[in-house]
Structure 1
Amino acid sequence: MITVKPAVTDEELADTRLIRHSVFVVEQGVPSEREVDEHEDVSLHFILYADEKPAGTGRLRPVSEGAKVERVCVLRHLRGSGHGAAIMKEMEKAAIEKNFQKLLLHSQTHAQDFYKNLGYKIVSEEPFMDAGILHVKMEKTLTE
């Protein structure tokens, strides 16, 4: 059974950081000082629990054009099972509730098809490097 919800308690927020560290820092080699940034406190964090164990996360941050989807990840052994899509669904639902009209994100190029399947479109002219990983800018207009 999976549960996705906003991470609000200290334990839930610690779970989001643990997952992000495992995926971005350990697995992908992103420097830890880049992974945790100045936007932590202004973002709405989400946690996915699979069988009551932390398994995925993402965050939603207000920006001038709408909201930015960031730090979406699922533990390696659970990828491809719909967990990432479940996180995105909850973040989009929260964005609509907060009256955001558009979601933006920077997708690692290997994940761009995942986001395309969720209705996001590539809007950057060329891929770009971020934290040593190739990315594309994507966006989606929200409707209720």
Structure 2
Amino acid sequence: MFKIVNTSDMLNDAYEIRKKVFVLEQGVPLENEIDQFESSSTHVIGYDNLQSPFATGRFRTYKNGAKIERVAILASHRKLGYGKSLMQFIEAAAKEADYHTLTLNAQCHAQHFYETLGYTTFGDVFLEENIEHIVMTKTI
């Protein structure tokens, strides 16, 4: 179901999910969604039973650990438990890459979701692309 991206087709699938979720649904400008960290990140893609891409995320080196970013699931696949499975896969991949501290900028509406996975908040709410976020961390 979830895999580390290792082909250009898989990466394009991840970008398409991000465009649908962040650009079309949330109004993030495309030029801000695709950024300078694409090539230095480890990307993850999820394919459903019909081999259709439906979920993505990435992580990269950040400070003394890894930063998880661009976590997205298509609307058609939300509320089915895939978010938890995706995060568990990302965390396992990060741990395998020898990261022990994870950081993410959670959209505030998803804060409780990340708390159920063991993340704790750090600092104050801030705006990123006109969406309220909070920094969250977890040790693995």
TM beyond 0.5: yes
Task: Count how many residue pairs are aligned between Structure 1 and Structure 2.
Answer: 139
Q: Which runs of 4+ in 1 moved over 3 A?
A: none
Q: How high is the TM-score relative to the length of structure 2? A: 0.97
Distance across 2 between alignment mates of 1:62 and 1:81: 30
1:77 Cα offset (Å): 1.5
User: Residue 38 in 1 paired to residue 4 in 2?
Assistant: no
Residue number in structure 2 paired with 1:59: 58
1:108 Cα offset (Å): 0.3
Residue number in structure 2 paired with 1:117: 116
Residue number in structure 2 paired with 1:94: 93
1:99-137 C-alpha deviation (Å, 9 max, x unpaired): 11100000000011110011000012x210001100000
1:55-95 C-alpha deviation (Å, 9 max, x unpaired): 00000111122000000010012111111111111111111
Q: What residue identity is the alignment partner of 1:138?
A: M
Q: How high is the TM-score relative to the length of structure 1? A: 0.94
Q: Where does the alignment leave 5 or more consecutive residues of structure 2 unmatched?
A: none
Please show how residues 1-144 of structure 1 align to structure 2 within 5 Å: 3-51=1-49, 52-124=51-123, 126-142=124-140
% identical equivalent positions: 42
